[in-house]
Every structure is written in C-alpha cells, then in structure tokens.
Amino acid sequence: MKKILTLLILLCFIKTYSQCNIKTTHRPDGITVKYFTPKPVAISKSHEAGLSLYYSVNTKQYTLTIFVLHKSSNKGKTTGNLILQTTNNVGISLTSHISKMIEMNGNDVSMTIYNLTKKDIIELKTYNLKTVAFTINGEIIGMTVTQNKDLIINEYNCLNK
C-alpha cells in the first residue's frame, strides 16, 4: 500500500512539474526572459490563436504574446488592442508593444506582444479566459476560447513557484 501511495504522489508531482515547461532566454542586451511555448486557445476556419506569458527577470515585467496562425487569405499583422474577456465578466484591453509577421513551420503567423499592468495580471491569474479579439487588416476578429482556458493562470503559477 505504501508503494502505491508513493507512486501516486510521485506521478502527481511529475505531472505538476511537467506542466511548468519554462523556457529561458539570455538576450545579448543582458535581459533574461522566461516564457512558454504558445498554446492554442481558440480555433476557427480562418485563424488559430495561441497565447504565451513572458516574464522579464530584470525588469519584473510581464507581457502576453498572441500568435495568430492564418488559415485563409486574410493575412496580416495583428494591430490595435487585444481584448480579453474572462469568466469574471471583466474585459481587458491590452495595447500592442511589438507586432510582426513571421513564418513558423512554413505557415504565416502574426505575433504581437502586449505589456500587462498589475491590474491585468490580477485578473488573468485569477479567472479563466472566455473570449479573445484582435484586429487584422482593419477587421476585428473575435474568437471564443475553447481550449486551455486556464492557460494564463497555469503559466503565472509556474513562474511564481
């Protein structure tokens, strides 16, 4: 019985630890950034949206990056604000910091980085995501979050262990 209990505890620990697959980059400018591989949160016929939380060890600043995979002809950089709705029914509007088109695994992807305020972090570390909206080529694209609804909560908790 002790062996089974020990094995179950070990498996729970491994599962919890493996969810915290934090990557670290030491940039040439001396900044150290901790981040996660983006995970999809919303998928439609035309786009797939993924999010990733970043943390600058030097500045103690959190940023949120959205990666939008373009599956249709509406390709372009993500512009304007990123609007996130949480299960707390609070809408968060994030201003873009950097926006670029990149090629990732042979696909066109727009990548945009948004700075998070303390108020944003409090909301996002507490409540699941419901919707995400962004603008491409002047068109507002709203998507319902269908997977990884607790992604930012989990990534925040991993960074703050």
Q: What is the pTM of this model?
A: 0.84
3-class secondary structure, 106: coil
CATH of domain 23-159: 2.60.40
Strand partners, 15: none
Cβ neighbours around 26 below 10 Å, total: 10
CB 20 within 8 A of CB 13: no
Greatest alpha-carbon pair distance for the chain in Å reads 62
Residue-by-residue pLDDT tens, the chain, 161 positions: 444 434 444 444 444 445 799 999 999 999 999 999 999 999 999 899 999 999 999 999 999 999 999 987 778 889 899 999 999 988 899 999 899 999 888 888 999 999 999 999 999 999 999 999 999 988 899 999 999 999 999 999 999 98
The string of DSSP codes covering 22-48 is: -EEEE-TTS-EEEE---EEEEE-SSEE
Nearest to 57 by CA among 96, 23, 31: 31
CB 26 within 8 A of CB 34: no
